[in-house]
């Protein structure tokens, strides 16, 4: 069943969105910080210029620093944003020689400014100010003490510049994201092109076209295409097998039917009731064989096309084996053979299987043994408990634990002529008789057995028996006795 | 606001009806508004009347003081004045820089020319040329001065005749005078020769334009330097013996600066007042009925900056309304300037 779970485009869009949002947030924080830093730098240089201009005007008179504040310095301080301005010239003791606002310059600031020019942000008079201080060496005739020049202004211009820079970065980023989104959509369209082509190719295919795909695909889709090709190949094989089976079946049915026709024709030409009697007997036997053949074909077809095994339940294999053997031992066909049961394991042997399937399987194996061995042959049925088959515990490969499942082998052995090794595999094919044309078997028995073994999840093995003969084994996993009814 | 001796019966009925409806009486208690200004009440009276008519809900108190008194009141008055107006531009600027002003956000304030405002907190709302004035007597003895150079020459060549007859601002007593001298000194170092020349003729230093004009009319002075054109022009209209001369080389232009006090007790009324000063109505009154000259270029009247420019040409040099004004009030710079002034004034050569 095809379940549509999300769309590739949406998934990509979500990923893009998540990445862009996360990355964008970081980028915005960085942009905010760096634009503020840039604004501080730009305006700090104006503070520096103003401080230098004021420092230039410092002169000494009678041992006192004298400063005529240059108007230009104040205009530089105010900037075009018309900031409130502050300036102070401090003597070596930190006393203001000249100051336009009563801001207190802290001693720690003065110490730092003495080492190197210092810019800092402080809250004064209920407003944030940027202050800048530097020490000026200035020699007079009487005193050579250094003075400190402090300047400052409010921060409206800085905020405006930082906001402007940030806005510009933001605009660029948004434009980039939009562009990337559009390009992504286009790229997706192009990238999904091969997928669409493959879809078109598949859609155009005829229902019975099982040839390998003829399409150009990118590396990422090679596996998909190969899987499709394998699927087609398997379908082709199975279809060919079906056709072969049908042809074989028709052929097999045709031969006895043709025999019936010729016998009945001969009998019709004859006037002798004895001939009629003989012909009728032949027709009867032929019809019986044909009917059995048809029955086998039917059961093989049914096995192959039966749906999921739904009636599988635990059953006692030992009891079933005994029961089936008793039934067959009483039959006419087993009269000339020594049909026996090997010593079964103690107690019931529980397997998960359908009763009819096991019966059918046993019937075919016994029938085969009776049919392909000379009279007087010994045919033995039996069960073997085989401990220790290792299987993976879970279906998925993730679990390294292996579980030991006991299994049972159901065997049917005979001391007939046996089957050459090279013919054994072929025996499982329909209409294969292992080169024996001397019997009236149809060659379907082992096919049916094999199908049933598959159906029950078992394994069928054919082996030679010493000194001669054949052993057919069906390995089935034992089920937990607790599940037994 | 005529006193009403008897209420008309109909009005009384309406008033009672309003009272019964629970509505506020029409004559609600007016909002007081205190304006401390260095601006002659007589000169500005038409503007005040117009404002009172436009805003009957505001009771305007206009106090006229000297520039230095106004400046002191900004920091000391309790309660603070609502609006502060002064022609002492550097002092006003310093107060704004100290954070005493409140930002005005109104259409008129936004539209106000950028060169005549600072931080949207303080506005230069007049445009007053600085002039020379002389008595007719002077022109009988010599060619009246038309430029600063003329004045300097007269002070040198006619030293004896002008002895004690020249008047100018005292830089110490008047903030306006100090500002004007600072600005003069900025333009040319020859200004100090002019100061020395005034010293040689023993120029009389006054504290206000009015005192100089009175001296001219009384005949004590023949020549006055750096007078406020706004006052001098009005005076000359009423006193034909006084002639006003706008210097032909350059003429400084001074602006009255108004700001709303940060701690104004009645900020809404203060905003209404300053908005009126800057608005079309107030500026039209300034241009038409006072000699204070309107700054706005879209106002038509006898007293506008545009018209003054047409008459005087491109020789008008407004004192720039920016942070450089702050340098003028720097105590050390002021002391150094006054010191030099005194030195030059007493120079003997």
Q: Are residues A332 and A459 both part of a single domain?
A: yes
* Mutate: best of A49, A50, A60, A69, partner B, most B CBs <10 A: A69
| CATH of residue A33 | 3.30.450.20
Residue B109 phi/psi, 5-degree rounding, is: -65, -40
| CATH of residue A325 | 3.30.565.10
Q: Tens-of-pLDDT digits for all 485 residues of chain A?
A: 778 888 877 888 888 889 888 988 999 999 999 999 999 999 999 999 999 999 988 888 777 788 889 999 999 999 999 999 999 999 888 888 889 998 889 999 999 999 999 999 999 888 999 999 999 887 767 777 888 999 999 999 999 999 999 999 999 989 988 898 899 889 888 888 888 888 888 888 887 787 888 878 888 888 888 898 898 888 888 888 788 878 878 877 888 888 888 888 888 888 888 888 888 888 888 888 888 888 878 877 777 666 555 667 888 888 888 888 888 888 887 888 888 888 877 778 888 888 878 888 888 888 888 888 888 888 888 888 887 555 554 444 444 455 556 788 888 888 888 888 877 777 777 777 766 666 666 677 788 888 888 878 888 888 888 888 888 888 888 887 776 66
Q: Are residues A239 and A357 both part of a single domain?
A: no
Q: Per 3-state DSSP, what percentage of chain A is helix, strand, and coil (rounded to 5)?
A: 50, 20, 30
Q: From A102, which residue of chain B is nearest by alpha-carbon distance?
A: B98
| CATH of residue A245 | 1.10.287.130
* Reported ipTM exceeds the 0.85 cut: no
Task: Report all structural domains of chain B as residue ranges with CATH numbers, in order of start.
Answer: 30-127+255-318 (3.40.190.10), 128-253+327-345 (3.40.190.10)
CA distance B192 to B182: 11
Q: Beta-carbon neighbour count of residue A131 at 10 Å?
A: 21
The mean pLDDT value of chain B amounts to 89
Q: Are residues A45 and A158 both part of a single domain?
A: yes
Cα distances (angstroms) measured from residue A463 to each of A412, A422, B131: 11, 11, 136
* Mutate: best of B327, B331, B336, partner A, most A CBs <10 A: B327
Considering A274, A302, A330, which residue would you say is the last residue of a domain?
A302
CB B324 to CB A75 under 8 A?
yes
| A to B CB pairs, distance under 8 Å | 58
Q: How many structural domains compose chain A?
A: 3
**A454-458, B205-209, B267-271: segment of lowest average pLDDT:** A454-458
Residue A139, classified by CB atoms within 10 Å of its CB into exposed (0-12), middle (13-18) or buried (19+), is exposed
Is position A192 within any domain? no
Residue B158 phi/psi, 5-degree rounding, is: -105, 35
Is position A123 within any domain? yes
Res A437: pLDDT: 63
How far off is chain A from B98, nearest CA to CA, in Å? 7
User: Which residue range(s) make up the domain with A69?
Assistant: 9-162
- DSSP strand E in chain B: where? 31-37, 58-64, 83-86, 101-102, 117-118, 122-124, 128-135, 166-169, 204-206, 223-228, 242-245, 251-254, 257-261, 316-318
Is position A195 within any domain? no
**A257-266, A414-423, B202-211, B246-255: segment of lowest average pLDDT:** A414-423
Region B255-277: mean pLDDT is: 95
CA distance A342 to B5: 145
Residue of B326, B328, B331 with shortest CB distance to A85: B326
Residue of B99, B324, B328 with shortest CB distance to A84: B99
Give yes or no for a contact between A436 and A373, defined as CB atoms under 8 angstroms apart. no
Q: Are residues A289 and A375 both part of a single domain?
A: no
Considering A143, A162, A181, which residue would you say is the last residue of a domain?
A162
Q: B137-171, pLDDT tens digit by residue?
A: 888 999 999 999 999 999 999 999 999 999 999 99
Question: What residues of B are in contact with residue A101 (Cβ under 8 Å)?
Answer: 97-98
Res B3: pLDDT: 43
Is position A278 within any domain? yes
Identify residues of B whose CB sits under 8 angstroms from chain A CBs: 94, 96-99, 118-119, 186, 322-333, 336
Res B122: pLDDT: 96
Is position A148 within any domain? yes
Q: Are residues A64 and A24 both part of a single domain?
A: yes
Residue B112 phi/psi, 5-degree rounding, is: -60, 135
Q: Are residues A254 and A316 both part of a single domain?
A: no
Is position A456 within any domain? yes
Q: Are residues A315 and A464 both part of a single domain?
A: yes
Res B215: pLDDT: 95
Is position A173 within any domain? no
Q: Which residues pair with B58 in a beta bridge?
A: B31
Residue A71 phi/psi, 5-degree rounding, is: -60, -35
**A87-101, B122-136, B208-222: segment of lowest average pLDDT:** A87-101
Give which of A379, A403, A404 is closest to A393, Cα–Cα: A403
Is position A3 within any domain? no
Residue B259 binned pLDDT confidence (cut-offs 50, 70, 90): very high
CA distance B93 to B87: 11
Residue B338 binned pLDDT confidence (cut-offs 50, 70, 90): very high
Residue of A74, A84, A127 with shortest CB distance to B327: A74
Give yes or no for a contact between A334 and A370, defined as CB atoms under 8 angstroms apart. yes
Q: Are residues A249 and A137 both part of a single domain?
A: no
Q: Are residues A332 and A415 both part of a single domain?
A: yes
Q: Are residues A335 and A232 both part of a single domain?
A: no
Q: Are residues A298 and A315 both part of a single domain?
A: no
CA distance B222 to B201: 12
How far off is chain B from A12, nearest CA to CA, in Å? 50
CB A74 to CB B323 under 8 A?
yes
Q: Are residues A267 and A347 both part of a single domain?
A: no
CA distance A32 to A468: 93
Considering A279, A302, A325, which residue would you say is the last residue of a domain?
A302
Q: A361-388, pLDDT tens digit by residue?
A: 888 888 888 888 888 888 888 888 887 5
């Amino acid at each position: 069943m095809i379940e549509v779970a999300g769309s590739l485009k949406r998934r990509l869009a979500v990923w893009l969105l998540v990445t862009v949002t996360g990355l964008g947030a970081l980028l915005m924080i960085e942009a905010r910080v760096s634009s503020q830093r840039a604004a501080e730098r730009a305006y700090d240089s104006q503070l520096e210029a103003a401080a230098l201009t004021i420092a230039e005007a410092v002169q000494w008179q009678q041992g006192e620093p004298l400063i005529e504040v240059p108007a230009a310095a104040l205009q530089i301080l105010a900037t075009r944003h018309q900031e409130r301005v502050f300036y102070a010239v401090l003597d070596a003791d930190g006393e203001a020689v000249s100051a336009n606002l009563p801001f207190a310059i802290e001693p720690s600031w003065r110490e730092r400014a003495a080492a190197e020019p210092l810019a800092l942000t402080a809250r004064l008079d209920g407003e944030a100010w940027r202050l800048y201080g530097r020490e000026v060496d200035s020699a007079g005739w009487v005193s050579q003490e250094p003075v400190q020049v402090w300047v400052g202004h409010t921060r409206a211009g800085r905020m405006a510049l930082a906001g402007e820079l940030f806005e510009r970065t933001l605009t660029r980023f948004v434009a980039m994201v939009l562009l990337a989104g559009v390009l992504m959509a286009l790229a997706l369209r192009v990238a999904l092109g091969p997928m669409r082509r493959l879809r078109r190719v598949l859609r155009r295919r005829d229902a019975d076209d099982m040839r390998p795909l003829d399409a150009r695909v990118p590396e990422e889709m090679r596996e998909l295409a190969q899987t499709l090709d394998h699927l087609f190949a398997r379908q082709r094989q199975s279809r060919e097998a079906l056709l072969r089976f049908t042809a074989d079946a028709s052929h097999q049915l045709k031969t006895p039917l043709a025999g019936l026709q010729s016998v009945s024709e001969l009998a019709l030409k004859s006037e002798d009731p004895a001939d009629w009697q003989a012909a009728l007997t032949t027709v009867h036997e032929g019809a019986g064989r044909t009917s059995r053949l048809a029955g086998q074909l039917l059961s093989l077809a049914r096995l192959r096309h039966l749906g999921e095994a739904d009636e599988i339940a635990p059953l006692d294999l030992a009891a079933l084996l005994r029961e089936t053997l008793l039934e067959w031992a009483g039959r006419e066909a087993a009269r000339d053979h020594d049909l026996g049961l090997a010593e079964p394991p103690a107690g019931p042997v529980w397997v998960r299987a359908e009763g009819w399937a096991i019966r059918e399987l046993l019937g075919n194996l016994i029938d085969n043994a009776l049919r392909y061995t000379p009279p007087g042959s010994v045919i033995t049925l039996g069960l073997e408990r085989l401990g220790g088959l290792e299987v993976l515990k879970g279906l998925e490969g993730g679990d390294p634990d292996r579980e030991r499942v006991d299994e049972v082998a159901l065997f049917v052995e005979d001391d007939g002529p046996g089957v050459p090794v090279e013919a054994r595999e072929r025996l499982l094919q329909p209409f294969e008789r292992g080169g024996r044309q001397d019997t009236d078997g149809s060659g379907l028995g082992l096919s049916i057995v094999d199908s049933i073994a598959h159906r029950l999840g078992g394994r069928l093995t054919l082996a030679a028996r010493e000194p001669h003969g054949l052993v057919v084994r069906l390995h089935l996993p034992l089920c937990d006795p607790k599940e037994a009814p | 606001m005529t006193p009403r001796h008897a209420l008309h019966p109909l009005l009384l009925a309406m008033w009672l009806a309003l009272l019964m409806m629970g509505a506020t009486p029409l004559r609600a208690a007016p909002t007081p508004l205190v304006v401390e200004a260095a601006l002659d009440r007589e000169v500005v009276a038409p503007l005040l009347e117009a404002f009172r008519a436009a805003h009957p809900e505001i009771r305007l108190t206009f106090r006229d003081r000297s520039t230095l008194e106004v400046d002191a009141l900004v920091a000391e008055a309790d309660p603070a004045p609502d609006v502060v107006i002064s022609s002492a531009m550097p002092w006003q600027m310093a107060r704004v820089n100290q954070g005493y002003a409140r930002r005005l956000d109104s259409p008129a304030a936004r539209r106000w020319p950028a060169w005549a405002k600072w931080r949207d907190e303080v506005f230069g709302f007049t445009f007053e040329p600085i002039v020379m004035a002389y008595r007719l007597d002077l022109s009988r003895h010599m060619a009246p001065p038309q430029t600063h150079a003329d004045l300097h020459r007269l002070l040198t060549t006619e030293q004896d005749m002008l002895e004690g007859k020249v008047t100018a601002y005292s830089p110490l007593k008047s903030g306006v005078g100090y500002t004007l001298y600072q600005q003069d000194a900025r333009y040319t170092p020859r200004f100090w020769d002019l100061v020395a020349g005034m010293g040689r003729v023993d120029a009389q230093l006054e504290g206000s334009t009015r005192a100089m004009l009175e001296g001219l009319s009384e005949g004590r002075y023949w020549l006055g330097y750096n007078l406020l054109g706004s006052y001098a022009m009005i005076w000359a209209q009423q006193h034909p013996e006084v002639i006003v001369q706008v210097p032909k080389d350059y003429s400084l232009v001074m602006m009255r600066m108004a700001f709303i006090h940060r701690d104004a007790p009645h900020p809404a009324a203060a905003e209404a007042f300053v908005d009126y000063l800057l608005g079309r109505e107030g500026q039209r009154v300034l241009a038409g009925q006072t000699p204070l000259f309107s700054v706005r270029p879209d106002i038509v009247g006898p007293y506008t900056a545009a018209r003054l420019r047409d008459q005087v040409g491109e020789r008008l040099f407004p004192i720039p309304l920016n942070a450089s004004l702050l340098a003028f009030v720097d105590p050390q710079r002021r002391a150094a300037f006054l010191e030099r002034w005194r030195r030059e004034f007493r120079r003997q050569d």
